[in-house]
Chains A and B, each alone.
Chain A
Amino acid sequence: MSTPYRDLALNGLWKNNPGLVQLLGLCPLLGVSNSTVNALGLGLATMLVLTCSNLAVSLVRGVVNTAVRLPAFVMIIAALTTCIELLMQAFTYELYQILGIFIPLITTNCVILGRADGFAAKNRPLTAAFDGLMMGLGFCLVLVVLGATRELFGTGALLANMDLLLGSLAEDWQITLVHDYKGFLLAILPPGAFIVLGLLIALKNRIDHSLAERARAAQPAAPAVNRRVRVTGVIE
């Protein structure tokens, strides 16, 4: 993978993650992340819309007048969201009913418009699509981790009802980790989403912190500077 693509991937998945760093699209992130299947369903839908919208916006970037670019982008995003909605209605009807209003609300997800205006409108189609894919994947991953954590704490099981999304293949995927679990309702209720998201952000910052520490430790010590030389800066 060449450097710009690697940077894009790193940005989307970690450094500039929409869920953990930009804190965009919090409404679906907190609203539907109460189980893995909901989270994965909405995450994949968002990822698909984001990739396609970035590609489409990048393709029309020379044609659309700057003054009306935002309405135009929103129209593109809304059209794509409608496509996804119809697809979900056709293939995963039960999940479509569970996710409800959150599927049409993908249109208003700030991550998508943010990437469209901030990146896709200024870059080539392939780069823009790849950026959309990586940002969408980053968002989807956070959503799934959040959903799985909340499902685990809330019900003591994982991957319940995955057949709603993946068909009969996934019918017996449910892993019950704790039998006779009382159910920790708070994790499934909205406060649980805020608490777990806060803990995830803290974990990410902690990892970044220790990575930076390690990088600093790995660097060779700065060469000795003659302390008697008058300098105005800081002597490292």
Chain B
Amino acid sequence: MALPRITSPHAKGSNRTQRVMLLVLLATLPGALVLTWLYGAGTLINLAWASAAALGLEAALLRLRQRPVKFFLQDGSALVTAVLLALALPPYSPWWLTLVAVASAIVLGKQLYGGLGQNPFNPAMVGYVVVLISFPVEMTSWPVPHAVGLLDGLRQILGAGALPDGWSQATALDALKINNSLTVAELWRNPAFGHFGGIGSEVVNLAFLAGGLFLLHKRIFSWHAPAGMLGALALMSLLFWNGSGSDSHGSPLFHLLSGATMLGAFFIVTDPVSGATSNLGRLIFGAGVGVLMYVIRAWGGYPDGVAFAVLLMNLAAPTIDYYTRPRTYGHRKPERGFKLGE
């Protein structure tokens, strides 16, 4: 009798790239639904157009680089980049804004570095920062929730006419940043504010938190990076919370539920490619993002700083990895750095 000879590995993980990416896409669903509820079809159009552009550009670049197009398109990573970007851009963004963002993300941020797994920076954040510093006016005009109709929105997307001023408003983070005369209690009567954070953005943040906890439950990423980022942000905003006067930086709860906090904590900082690799490294990486983003929010030139903080920490990730190598089995102490001549 011939016994079947099965070679190792006997235990196989099921977390192939495609499955991970599909789960990430699934986890963005609550956030995307809330955004759609608040801003109407603008979010959906953003999503569809960004995804189509990302897939087209990825295919074109793969062809140029003479790589298997179908294989790499199927892994879904371009789609994840596009979806994260589309959720971060203001709804009803002009079509060219989305296109420039996606092109910067896929072409400059990803393919020119060698494709998935080779990019030192988070591609979605590269795309976001490129359009943020290039087109500040378009990037800071978030529409008022439930205000924009489909036809007017389409006109803005196609560039046929801008929305009336009353339909876009400063976000809560904006309002807090430019405010220098009102106390926080007075500021809270501003229509941009909701119960804890910005109107809408608090619900959006809770929805992304739900999606993130789902991914954590599915073990797509470990808890270290999000915990580091949220912990550092909470700690910083607690330490520098200067009351509710007109120069207030905002309470910890406000910071945790405003802007792109939760999207960043669970979908951006957890990027396995551009972040740190060890658990301790991830904790430090996340904490660095949290600290930097609070510094930018409180004292920087931009109302929100997730993208800049993530890019800066991406630069630091190799150094973090260098100093946080885990202890290898059989060694008493973990190795620090790399031996020369290895």
Binding site for B on A (CB under 8 A): 182-187, 189, 195
Contacts and interface: CB of A to CB of B under 8 A. Distances in A.
A195 B136 CA distance: 20
A185 B108 contact: no
Contacts of B133: 185-186, 189
A187 B135 CA distance: 11
Interface residues of B, number: 9
B138 to A, nearest CB: 8
Contacts of A185: 133-136
Nearest to A198: B112
A50 B108 CA distance: 35
Please name the 4 residue pairs, one residue from A and one from B, whose CB atoms are nearest each other, closest first.
A186-B134, A185-B134, A184-B134, A186-B130
B165 to A, nearest CB: 18
A189 B138 CA distance: 18
Interface in B89-133: 96, 100, 108, 130, 133
A183 B136 CA distance: 11
A177 to B, nearest CB: 16
Interface centre among B96, B134, B135 (most CB of A within 10 A): B134
Contacts of A186: 130, 133-134
Contact of B100 (A184, A189, A195): A184
17 contacts: A182-B96, A182-B135, A182-B138, A183-B134, A184-B100, A184-B134, A184-B135, A185-B133, A185-B134, A185-B135, A185-B136, A186-B130, A186-B133, A186-B134, A187-B134, A189-B133, A195-B108
Given A185-B133, A195-B108, 10 more contacts: A182-B96, A182-B135, A182-B138, A183-B134, A184-B134, A185-B134, A186-B130, A186-B133, A187-B134, A189-B133
Nearest to B136: A185
Nearest to B108: A195
Interface in B286-318: none
A182 B135 CA distance: 8
A184 B138 CA distance: 12
Contacts of B108: 195
Contacts of A184: 100, 134-135
A195 B281 CA distance: 30
Interface in B70-103: 96, 100
A3 B162 CA distance: 62
A39 B138 CA distance: 30
A147 B41 CA distance: 41
A195 B129 CA distance: 14
A183 B138 CA distance: 12
A192 to B, nearest CB: 9
B40 to A, nearest CB: 24
Contacts of B130: 186
Nearest to A154: B134
Nearest to B97: A182
A233 to B, nearest CB: 31
A195 B126 CA distance: 13
B119 to A, nearest CB: 15
Contacts of B135: 182, 184-185
B156 to A, nearest CB: 13
A186 B135 CA distance: 9
Contacts of B134: 183-187
Contacts of B96: 182
B89 to A, nearest CB: 15
A49 to B, nearest CB: 34
Contacts of A195: 108
